[in-house]
Chains A and B, each alone.
Chain A
Amino acid sequence: MKKIKVLFAALLLVTGSGCSTMGVKPWEKENLAKPEMALNEQPLTDALDDHIYFSKEASSGGKSYAGGGCGCN
């Protein structure tokens, strides 16, 4: 619990300070604009996977929303 908090604070700090120096110009996003580079390229697949792993494993979610909504066995 404490570990997580410290880790999260550290991450925020690193990303927060790193962000301003990273990145590209709007016209340099040719590759990043490709659909296969989107983070939610396949929402249905992600939902199906999440549902399976939610049913079979003790951990779930994290990517976007936690699974849930079933009494799966």
Chain B
Amino acid sequence: MKNYIFLLGFILGLTLSNQVQSQSLDINQYKGKVVYVDFWASWCGPCMKSFPAMNQFVKQYDPEKFVLIAVNLDSDKANADKFLKQNPANFPIIYDPKGEIAEQFQVKAMPSSYIFNKNGVAKYLHQGFRSKDIPELEHQINSLLSEQYSVSASMEPKLESKHEKN
């Protein structure tokens, strides 16, 4: 009987671990912070190169003001885990094996990074990664960090559109 329960638990565990549900990404919970969202996969060469840079961003910016979230798009989580063992990340990983979040973000390239300002407005999109992009990314993060956080605007994520700009 005990064995049965153990087996049941084991099977259940297996089923659960194999069914990695797409986690959701809520930018709103980071209001007041600059949010860097990176889409990556284990098989993407430039993604590997971007990891040290992203680790560096997390180290160099105040966690009270800057958050980096990486969305993994591997269909098989095991590949992502293997990648993370070789390329440790000091930032949270959200798993999106079916690409649902990527679909919403309309990701066009691997990797793709979206930088949101303190009011939850996506301000920059960066496709691909090369080491010479780092200064530009830093410049973008810095400019958003220096912007004021407006409490009223943070009630709902605000869209950057041409209409609102004018």
Contacts and interface: CB of A to CB of B under 8 A. Distances in A.
Q: Direct A–B touching in the complex (beta carbon < 8 Å)? A: yes
B95 to A, nearest CB: 12
Among A28, A29, A30, A34, chain B packs the most CB atoms within 10 A around the CB of: A30
Contacts of A34: 43
Q: Is the interface of A mostly helix, strand, loop or mixed?
A: loop
Contacts of B107: 25-27
Given A26-B109, A27-B107, A33 B43 contact: yes
Contacts of B79: 30
Contacts of A29: 43, 110
Interface string A15-44: 000000000011111100110000000000
Interface residues of B, number: 16
A38 B43 CA distance: 14
Given A26-B108, A26-B109, A27-B110, A33 B44 contact: yes
Contacts of A26: 102, 107-110, 112
Interface residues of A, number: 8
Contacts of A30: 41, 43, 74-75, 79
B164 interface: no
A31 to B, nearest CB: 8
B36 interface: no
Contacts of B102: 25-27
Among A27, A29, A30, chain B packs the most CB atoms within 10 A around the CB of: A27
Contacts of A28: 75, 99
B39 interface: yes
Nearest to B76: A30
Interface string B83-104: 0000000000000000100110
Interface of B: 39, 41, 43-44, 73-75, 79, 99, 102-103, 107-110, 112
20 contacts: A25-B99, A25-B102, A25-B103, A26-B108, A26-B109, A26-B110, A26-B112, A27-B41, A27-B73, A27-B107, A27-B110, A28-B75, A28-B99, A29-B110, A30-B41, A30-B43, A30-B74, A30-B79, A33-B44, A34-B43
